[in-house]
Structure 1
Amino acid sequence: MIRFENVVMSYGRRNRPALDDVDLHVADGEFVFLVGMSGSGKSTIMRLLLREDRASAGKIFVGSREVTKIRRRDVPRLRRDIGMVFQDFRLLADRTVSGNVAYVLDVLGAPRADVRRRVPEALERVGLAGMERRLPHELSGGEQQRVAIARAIVKRPRLLLADEPTGNLDPVTSIDITKVLRRIHAEGTTVLMATHDDQIVDDVRARVVELHEGRVVRDEAGGGYGRPRAVWHEPRTGSTAADRPDPAPTPTATTHEEGAR
């Protein structure tokens, strides 16, 4: 579904690239967490997949399309197969819940019969049935994010990108939103979620790809948020520093076959 081959992304005169020789494969139907500190390259990966930016070097594929070669006029066609969920919801304040979800289909020129059928289906999938006529300001943060997810999936994309979707939510609501994303994944959608939320990553134990200064430094199936560490026990009486375990080696990126499943 997603393939990065030796991708470099540089912005202006920065001292280091935002992405530096990144290789990343995500298979159709996977759920993958992108983790790392702010500025590590997570959002850059999202922008490149949406062709908001063009890579400085390397190749990027989404399905059979080579994103790095797509002409600007063909970008909307690429985005029809990609749903996007943002941290700040980005709802239209003057439209109802139904209106926000229908907006995507209106832009795509979907027939009105399809809109009337698919909008309620999407709201049902995210647990918002019966709230069609409410406005965004009448909703909680978690409900607004559910609307944003419904808007992203109403066009039935093969790939769902979620860039810090729980960043503005409390811990309990964050867990609920992640459960919604997991249900969507279970129905066959590939999900790539960038997050700083260590609790969610540790609880879900999906594949984890960690970025540091634009490089993939870990690709681990069933991983947690932090890197594995050596277990330290208090030394026995009379022990010396030589008795202490060596620190765990820094994990490095693995191949997709090693890290994905």
Structure 2
Amino acid sequence: MTSLDSVLDKDGVRLTVDDAIATVTLTNPAKRNAQSPALWRALTEAGRALPGSVRVVVLRGEGVSFSAGLDRQAFTPEGFDGEPSLLDMGRGPESELDALIAEYQEAFTWWRRNDLVSIAAVQGHAIGAGFQLALSCDLRIVADDVQFAMRETSLGLVPDLTGTHPLVHLVGYARALEICATGRYVHAAEAERTGLANLVVPAAELEGAARDLAGALLAAPRDAVIETKALLGGAVSRTYDEQRAAERAAQGRRLRDLAGALD
């Protein structure tokens, strides 16, 4: 996807903006877009740098894989330069450990803001942190060669980058547990069948499909999409009657806004 304006380009993350559509690209294909704390901070910065005109964000990875997960350097005793290693994190005070993980999680949270619709365009491997990053988005278009896997449990860890909540809501508790506990691959056909993927396309068509979906999402008025996204996002946690009330309130706001525009 081509863009007109480069807003950020650092630590394996590039943010470009083309009017109402922003593209966040993982730019380290030589390492299959492996992730690090520096990359997570750059992703957080990208979210904060989005202009107010942006309505749709497309997330993609350069090369053959979307993201192969956490860079293996994280599992060495020395870890990343200037960062605490995983072992150092485990030996530190509980409050510092919690704060550090919370900081890392910020890279994965802004994709579901109500004023945006985010699309992950996923090809090849999306492993561990890569899987969780794809799950951070509202929608996922995947290439027919996609391979999702949650490998944290096999390493003695848990998925902690916000991926468990959307995974359970998309595929259900039992399947989510099986995927995480076994660390097995989920391929394109299963991803589409279980709701992990909205659409499966040939790898050569992935960019075009993401561009087409982004354009389609811009067709409806922005405020109507924002209200609808908020309604759907809160539906699971509301009772039936609470959801009815939320629908009435949202529709009331829309009707008042439309009437006001005509007065």
The question of a shared fold, defined as TM-score above 0.5 by the shorter chain, is answered with: no
Structure number with bigger Rg = 1
Relative contact order, higher structure (CA 8 A, sep 6+)? 1
Larger helix fraction of residues: 2
Q: TM-score, normalised by structure 2?
A: 0.29
Q: TM-score, normalised by structure 1?
A: 0.29
